[in-house]
Amino acid sequence: MPQLPLLRADVSLQPLNTFGLAARAATFAVIESEEELLALRHSSHWGAGPALVLGGGSNLVLTRDVAGLVVCMANKGMTMRKTPDAVLVECKAGENWNAVVDATLKAGIGGLENLISIPGSVGAAPVQNIGAYGVELAQRLESVTALDCAAGSLVKLSRDACQFGYRDSLFRRSPGRFLITAVTLRLPVPWQPNLTYGELRSLDASSLSPAQVAQKVAAMRKAKLPDPGEMPNAGSFFKNPVVPCERLDEIRVAYPDIVSYPAGAGTVKLAAAWMIEACGWKGRALGQVAMHERQALVMVNRGKATAAEVLGLASVVEKSVFEKFGVTLEREPIVI
């Protein structure tokens, strides 16, 4: 008979979210295996299902206590299998994403180097289709295994079934439906570096290894992004807005320097950090929260930030950008 996980009452979530916001879970369970998860799903403790699934807490803004069950995925394991044209890497949801990237690089396998140093768990990576330096998870994903909470059984979803978009997926659009237990990555052989983004363009593709690209990306991230261990944050607070090319042309009349990237099908991504900086918010604080001095897209907790301060600063930044550029910013972290 599979064991139920230990259920604890009234647990602080403050050390479990990288923004360091104070919130409590009424009931909290750490899940170490699929069997434990299924046992919980079919027990009376499940109720209406988890109010929150927690990974590393690096993409969350907790504005309140969570009244129901909080489930933290901590199942571990990783295997690599070679096929003629790829290496398939299966990782359990509770693995640390960056540890998986490191392990593939140490094994001499390329494909994840642009996604190095992204905090959080493997299980959360498909939720917002993590991306950095010109690569998105969707480009390296074979399938996702998840508990279909409604059906009560495990399902395997192909990449197409996950409906990935820019920082978006089926999982993000249907919260509470799927609880991801494992992810299988497909890393193509031979390796092709992706050097399309920013400073990576200056690298010489003919004499590069995946580890060297990773080193460069990690160094660029370190120079730009605040370490949540030193200055709590949840990474980029806003997505880069995607607008039709004609809209960019209109904005360029007044702001010729606006930064944008092609986003396909007659659209462009506007650099939200550039617009926030142009509105004067880079490095500016309101109480215990601020837009970071090196990366205007990242909101930081200067010590004892409250959820009201976080939401307050987010609102005034959104208002400034809308008033100046007529563009609506969308928040990237999940707000609970």
Ligand X SMILES: Cc1cc2nc3c(=O)[nH]c(=O)nc-3n(C[C@H](O)[C@H](O)[C@H](O)COP(=O)(O)OP(=O)(O)OC[C@H]3O[C@@H](n4cnc5c(N)ncnc54)[C@H](O)[C@@H]3O)c2cc1C
Instruction: Give residues 63-82 in contact with ligand X (rule: CB under 6 A).
Output: 73
CA distances from 253 to 25, 102, 243, 246, 248 (A): 50, 45, 16, 11, 9
As a whole number of angstroms, the distance between CA 320 and CA 309 comes to 17
| From candidates 13, 74, 127, 141, binder to ligand X by CB under 6 A | 127
CA distance 53 to 175: 9
Q: 140, 236, 277, 309: which is the annotated catalytic residue?
A: 236
Region near ligand X per CB under 6 A, out of 51-59, 249-257, 279-287, 317-325? 51-59
| DSSP strand pairing (66-73 vs 52-54) | parallel
Does 52 help bind ligand X (rule: CB under 6 A)? yes
* Residues 333/237, Cβ–Cβ less than 8 Å: yes
Catalytic residue among 41, 140, 167, 186: 167
If the CB atoms of residues 55 and 110 are measured against ligand X, the closer one turns out to be 55
Please state the separation of Cα 55 from the chain's center in Å. Answer: 10
- Among 13, 18, 111, 113, the residue binding ligand X under the rule CB under 6 A is 18
Contact call for residue 111 and ligand X (CB under 6 A): no
Of 227-286, which residues contact ligand X (CB under 6 A)?
A: 228, 233-235
3-state secondary structure of 39: helix
Write the Ramachandran bin of 235: left for phi over 0, alpha for psi from -120 to 50, otherwise beta: left
State the minimum distance, in angstroms, from the CB of residue 329 to ligand X: 16
Residue number with CB closer to ligand X (18 or 260): 18
Residue whose C-alpha is closest to residue 75's, from 36, 124, 45: 36
Beta bridge partners of 182: 92, 145
Question: Site map for ligand X, 130-169, x if CB under 6 A?
Answer: xxx-------------------------------------
167 counts as catalytic: yes
Q: Are 140 and 100 in contact (CB under 8 A)?
A: no
CB of 29 to ligand X, least distance (A): 13
Q: Which one of residues 23, 25, 32, 59 is an interface residue with ligand X (CB under 6 A)?
A: 59
Rule CB under 6 A: say whether 5 interacts with ligand X: no
| Residue 114 contacts ligand X per CB under 6 A | no
Sole residue written with tokens 């690089």: 105
How many residues contact ligand X, by CB under 6 A? Answer: 33
**Helices (H), ranges, 270-306:** 272-278
- Judged by beta carbon, residue 183 or residue 275, the one nearer ligand X is 183
Q: Does 56 bind ligand X (CB under 6 A)?
A: yes
Say how far residue 143 (Cα) sits from the centre of its chain: 18
Residues identified as active-site: 167, 236, 332
Binding site for ligand X (CB under 6 A): 18, 52-60, 73, 93, 118-121, 123-125, 127-128, 130-132, 171, 179-180, 225, 228, 233-235, 334
